[in-house]
Structure 1
Amino acid sequence: MAIANALAFLLYLCSSVILIRRFVQKDPNSVNASIPVGILITMALLFHATDIFFTMKNAGGWELGLFTTFTLTTWLMSFIALLVGIRLPNAHPGIIVYPLVAMSLLLKVELPSPEPPSLPDPALEWHVLLSLAAYSFFMLATIQAIILAIQEKQLHQRHLNGLMRKLPPLQTMERGLFQLLTSGFILLTLGLITGLMFVDNLFAQHLVHKTVLSIIAWCVFASLLWGRIRYGWRGQTAVKWTLAGSAFLLLAYMGSKFVLEYLMS
């Protein structure tokens, strides 16, 4: 397990270096990084999955510690980033995502949960998987929104620096943002439905705050997508709503788990 974690960590870092080096080059077409990065990330995903598998096996089932769960989310983010990078090699999200994933693997080893919670009911597996998939899409959307905000600000100031010029057009970045938001919203909706179906007592399981914050986040994202369709919301409006919804979602999951596992244990 430790070996798989270390190998995945190194492979993610190597991929990050290759992508960053290619992005800052004056002529990005001089070196094709898609193939070597694709191979490295495929191997990293396999080692990453192996680490998750043995963690669950040693725990005798689902181990829902904060950083263990975070590595599950970042595995999904890595996989999505790999697919997006194939379609948009000049704006590969792995430049930001892969260092974040490497950090999650390091935190999992250095900061294990004192008393990692387990899944109380096997029926909740679908709820957990759908929720983690939703979180991964919304985390990617948050990164996209921040980059979009910087890109738009520099464009309005007519001071687009060399690195920002290498990104796809604003419309393409914005379209990608709403594709991520729509996918995350669908998964979050299904996750909330399955959670409400299988969780019997929210107060007894310390889940009420998580559920309330998740529903607030759902309402924020629903309003944003509705505003996009009804009023054509875009630009800074879309960025602000995305960051607000992601903040509620972060508090709902990561924030609540941190408090329960590290501050109240």
Structure 2
Amino acid sequence: MILSADPAVLCTVVALLAYLGALLPAAPERRWPVQLLFTAWVLHAIVLLAGAGAWAGEGQGLRLGFAPVLSLTIWLVLAVHGVESRFLPLASARRALALAGALAVLLAWVFPGEVRAIAHSRWAPLHWVLGLTSYGLFGAAVLHAILLDTADNRLRHRAPGGGPAGMGNGMPLLKLERLTFRFVEAGFVVLTLALWLGLQSEAEWRWDRKSVLSVLGWATFAALIIGRVWRGWRGRQATRWLYAGSLLLLLAYVGTRFVYEVVLQRPPA
């Protein structure tokens, strides 16, 4: 009954089921898991658009909260994977992405957040769009880093089925590494622009936990890029910095909002 009353809820449930279906093991030549993942991604987009419908209403705003932002981030990572998979084989990421998508949709359903106005200045909407885009780019970088570390670990321990030497998830390890840090570099540029625009808006920018953690995350990625260029950081030494910077960014918004919404159960200060 509740499903027929709210199309957004129906899309949420079907998207969740499609993600769970894409989690099922299947032979590499089977196309139905990829088709299910794509179907879930499209329905996930509809759910996100329904949540962002406040843009068209009175008192323009956006549905914000730890779960909606996390959901959008996972959706962006899936979008990057969908484009990338047309050119590069990353079939081993399918089940991890399906699980992440299912959890993101479920969390956003249970914790829908709240509609808040963000247009405190002319730069505020662009600041938010760039910030969320950087989340998606760093999320894609983390996905590739996990695949890179997994392939590197198989090579080190000569695990059965590890594939030809120097190969990871169907592509040369060096190519996978370069791709990983292209996402880092793109995310760093977008994050820099987002922080710069935030600083231009005195009404939007405050030196609170979110801002401090965001700047620390930015500094971590800057150190990673400098370390790769000047010191030749590679492999796990580089991916550890990537994980640390991504964790700081995740704590900056998603973590602080989670504490307020779930632990303290009150609006952010």
**Partner SS for 1:86:** coil
Work out the number of aligned pairs and report it: 248
Once residues 129 and 44 of structure 1 are traced to their aligned partners in structure 2, the CA distance between those partners, rounded to angstroms, is: 23
How far did residue 185 of structure 1 move?
Answer: 1.0
* Contact preservation (8 Å) 1:64, 1:119: no
Alignment correspondent of 1:2? 9
Unaligned runs of 5+ in 2: 1-7
Change (3 A) 1:258 1:199: farther
Alignment correspondent of 1:160? 159
Matched, 1:56 2:52: yes
Matched, 1:95 2:98: no
Change (3 A) 1:73 1:199: farther
Matched, 1:16 2:20: no
More helix by share: 1
How far did residue 160 of structure 1 move?
Answer: 2.8
Residue identity matched to 1:180? F
Unaligned runs of 5+ in 1: 23-27
Once residues 162 and 17 of structure 2 are traced to their aligned partners in structure 1, the CA distance between those partners, rounded to angstroms, is: 26
Change (3 A) 1:164 1:21: farther
Structure 1 stretches of at least 4 aligned residues deviating more than 6 Å after TM superposition: none
Once residues 201 and 183 of structure 1 are traced to their aligned partners in structure 2, the CA distance between those partners, rounded to angstroms, is: 24
**Partner SS for 1:225:** helix
Once residues 89 and 131 of structure 1 are traced to their aligned partners in structure 2, the CA distance between those partners, rounded to angstroms, is: 28
* Contact preservation (8 Å) 1:5, 1:51: yes
Root mean square deviation of aligned Cα: 2.4
Identical-residue share of aligned pairs (%): 31
Paired residues for 1:106-121 under 5 Å: 106-113=106-113, 116=114, 118-121=116-119
Residue identity matched to 1:53? L
Question: For 1:181, which of 184, 190, 194 is the aligned residue?
Answer: 184
How far did residue 258 of structure 1 move?
Answer: 0.9
Paired residues for 1:79-158 under 5 Å: 79-113=79-113, 116=114, 118-121=116-119, 123=122, 124-157=124-157
Alignment correspondent of 2:5? none
